[in-house]
Every structure is written in C-alpha cells, then in structure tokens.
Amino acid sequence: QKEVEQNSGPLSVPEGAIASLNCTYSDRGSQSFFWYRQYSGKSPELIMFIYSNGDKEDGRFTAQLNKASQYVSLLIRDSQPSDSATYLCAVNPSPSSNYKLTFGKGTLLTVNP
C-alpha cells in the first residue's frame, strides 16, 4: 500500500526561525510532490510543488526532494505566526497525471510570537 508519512507534530518554532517539515513516501516510482497548507476548518491551499531532485525556492518557502531517499521536505524561512497551520505532503505516483494524490496526515506547525 502506498503511504506518505509525516510527523504529526505539533512542531513549535519561534517567530523568525526556520521551520523544517519532513515527509517520506513508500512508492519509489512517485513522480511529483506537493505541499499544501491547511488552516483549521479551511481547504488545503497549494504552496509548493517539486518534480526533480534538489531544491526549489519560492519566496520564504523551499521544497527539497531526494528521490533516492524517498524524502521530501519544506523549509519555511523567517516563520510568521500566520504560518501556523497544518502542512500536508502529497505524492503523485503517476507520470501522466496529477490528480490521484496520496496525502499524509499532516504536520501541525505553531509559530510563537
């Protein structure tokens, strides 16, 4: 069974620090990887996606992918209280489509002022 594992947290960091969120996946053939942010009671919001090994940066966010280790991470620099949310890692095993994602249960991040 294909699985995506995340530490449920809570992960607590002080404002201004770097928050590091980690995700491992079981399907070695997975092709694309997504990070979603979900505030309590709200919908998941796409914040990053990455397809190739290495780093991808977008503003304060950096996604890191290591397919050999089946590991994907999200770094949030200069963390703000508004970043406090649950972060969902999602993995797509298919090379031809992005719709059938396998989600982890999420990591709750708390940024303390």
Q: Which residues here bind other proteins, judged by CB under 8 A?
A: 4, 34, 41-46, 49, 88, 90, 96-106
Identity of the residue, 95 or 113, whose beta carbon is nearer to other proteins in the bound complex: 95
CA 11, CA 55: separation in Å to the nearest integer?
22
Closest separation in Å from C-beta 12 to other proteins: 20
Which of 102, 110, 37, 111 lies closest to 70 in space, CA to CA? 102
Identity of the residue, 49 or 61, whose beta carbon is nearer to other proteins in the bound complex: 49
Identity of the residue, 62 or 104, whose beta carbon is nearer to other proteins in the bound complex: 104
Closest separation in Å from C-beta 104 to other proteins: 5
Contact 63, 73 (CB under 8 A): yes
Identity of the residue, 40 or 69, whose beta carbon is nearer to other proteins in the bound complex: 40
CA 43, CA 47: separation in Å to the nearest integer?
12
Closest separation in Å from C-beta 15 to other proteins: 28
Which of 15, 2, 1, 9 lies closest to 86 in space, CA to CA? 9
